[in-house]
Amino acid sequence: MNFDTLIIGGGLAGLLCGIKLQQQGQHCAIITAGQSAIDFSSGSLDLLSYCNNEQVNNLKAGLQQLATQSATHPYSLLGADKVINYAEDFEQLAQQLQLPFQGSCQQNHYRITPLGSLQPAWLSPTNVPTLAMDDTMFAYRSVVVLGIEGFHDFQPHLLAANLKTLPQFAECEINYAFLHIPELDHLRTNAREFRSVNISQALEHKLKFDELVQEIKQAAGKAEAVFLPACFGLDNDDFFMQLKQATKLALFELPTLPPSLLGLRQHYKLRREFQRLGGVLMNGDTVLRGDFEQGKVARIHTALHEEITLSADNYILATGSFFSNGLVAKFEKIVEPVFELDLIADKDRLQWTTHRFADAQPYQHYGVKINAQGQVMKNGETVPNLFAVGSVIGGFSGLHEGCGSGVSIATAFNVVESILAGGKQ
């Protein structure tokens, strides 16, 4: 089977590459094992939250500062102006795909986390409670946090207690309560089945809607704002919006412990768009290895198509980092397992970590080497038709710099430009 571009990995970066290339008339396939990091995400996207351990408010200024401090960071390779342009392009694409976001690439905002802290973010789902960076008070004077009886992936008492310690909530009355929702009783008998996905499926198909509306209204009392776990609506937020309209309350939803419906909704919508544009999704498959000829990738072998090789003009590696086995730590070395590419990584195992667990760990910066066009290197030589995007790339820490989503988006858009322009041959 032959394609214009083969994309290995179906997370945020891989899907964006596929959508953008299909929009330009290419015939693409995405090979994915199934779930990806986006399924476990909060639903908020970060472009750059911290630089040199200091919080970033103005994103362009933060990107310019980063370029002077980290030459190997993917943003430094692209340049601050390009990153901002790509961020603006994504905001426009999100509107076209009806992905409901709030925020802009001009300035970060705070999103409220499920533990009651404030975390900088670039974009957040519109139903997530947020504050502007310069807000001194939350917009609502009374808040009630509603959990679900027996659901341990969302703890309303911790959220309420921690919110009370924040200066922006000093003048707020904050309470918490629990919804019972009798239709969920069958899930309570097995804690492993009592997850956000199962709750959402049960509520949409077996729920007495009017009774849920009344239970939420009764539990909310006179509160001006109501925080709920993101368990209402799996494919999209239509069900949540129906609840909001029926209760006539200022309802907000917060991510739960993974899997997160806020991330799943985004994943589903991007995947459907890729397929709507004619892209081929090879779900449940894994790439085993690639064959090289004359310094270029000629074909790849997968677990489900081992006897039938797949070929393309260009290949995009979007396999993620250690979490999804895009990088593998063996006892003596760290490797990229599909093509055995050159990495940014320490060869001495003792340098992979630091003794203090909470510190930024060196291994978090490890990943594939790329050039400004997104092309990878193997044995010191550039592979002209093989590109890397997202967290498989080295030179940054998505966790401690708060830039994982932004790197995925910026590098994906950059590689699409490179492929459409013919790459650097």
**Mean pLDDT (whole number) for 181-201:** 90
Question: Is it the case that residue 255 has pLDDT exceeding 70?
Answer: yes
CATH value of 129-254 in 2.60.40, 3.30.1380, 3.30.300, 3.40.50: 3.40.50
Cα-based torsion angle of the residue sequence 62, 68, 72, 77 in order, rounded to the nearest 10 degrees: 70
Residue 129 to residue 121: CA distance in whole angstroms: 12
Q: What tokens were used for 196?
A: 């956000």
* 151-172 residue pLDDT tens: 999 999 999 999 999 999 999 9
pLDDT of residue 423: 47
Residue 239 pLDDT grade (very low, low, confident, very high; cuts 50, 70, 90) = very high
pLDDT of residue 305: 79
Residue 87 to residue 90: CA distance in whole angstroms: 5
Q: Which residue ranges does the chain devote to CATH 3.40.50? A: 129-254
**Mean pLDDT (whole number) for 88-111:** 96
Q: Which residue ranges does the chain devote to CATH 3.50.50.60? A: 2-100+264-423
pLDDT of residue 384: 97
* 336-361 residue pLDDT tens: 999 999 999 999 999 999 988 888 89
**Mean pLDDT (whole number) for 100-107:** 96
Residue 207 to residue 6: CA distance in whole angstroms: 42
For 379, phi and psi rounded to 5 degrees?
A: 55, 40
pLDDT of residue 87: 98
Residue 390 to residue 316: CA distance in whole angstroms: 10
pLDDT of residue 358: 80
What's the CATH code, domain 2-100+264-423? 3.50.50.60
Q: Tokens 């009630």, residue?
A: 144
Instruction: List the Cα angle 21/13/233 in 5-degree steps.
Output: 105
Rg (CA), the chain: 22
Residue 336 to residue 328: CA distance in whole angstroms: 6
pLDDT of residue 1: 85
* 47-86 residue pLDDT tens: 999 998 899 999 999 999 998 888 899 999 999 999 999 9
Closest to 166 measured CA to CA, from 113, 124, 109: 113
Those residues with Cβ within 8 angstroms of residue 360's Cβ, 6 or more apart along the chain or in another chain: 354, 397, 399, 400
* 172-190 residue pLDDT tens: 999 999 999 998 998 998 8
> How many C-alpha atoms does 250 have within 13 Å on its Cβ side?
13
pLDDT of residue 324: 92
pLDDT of residue 206: 64
Mean per-residue pLDDT of the chain: 94
* 279-312 residue pLDDT tens: 999 999 999 999 999 999 999 999 997 778 999 9
Full 3-state SS string of the chain: CEEEEEEECCCHHHHHHHHHHHHCCCCEEEEECCCCHHHHCCCCECCCCEECCEECCEHHHHHHHHHHHCCCCHHHHHCHHHHHHHHHHHHHHHHHCCCCEECECCECEEEECCCCCEEEECEEECCCCEEECCCCCCCCCEEEEEEECCCCCCCHHHHHHHHCCCHHHCCCEEEEEEECCHHHHHHHCCHHHCCHHHHHHHHHHHCCHHHHHHHHHHHHCCCCEEEEECCCCCCCCHHHHHHHHHHCCEEEEECCCCCCHHHHHHHHHHHHHHHHCCCEEEECCCEEEEEEECCEEEEEEECCCCCCCEEEEEEEECCCCHHHCCCEECCCCEECCCCCCCEECCCCHHHCCCCCCCCCCHHHHCEECECCCCEEEECCEEEEEEEECHHHECCCCHHHHCCHHHHHHHHHHHHHHHHHCCCCC
% of the chain at pLDDT higher than 90: 88
Least confident of 12-26, 29-43, 145-159, 311-325: 29-43
pLDDT of residue 259: 86
pLDDT of residue 424: 42
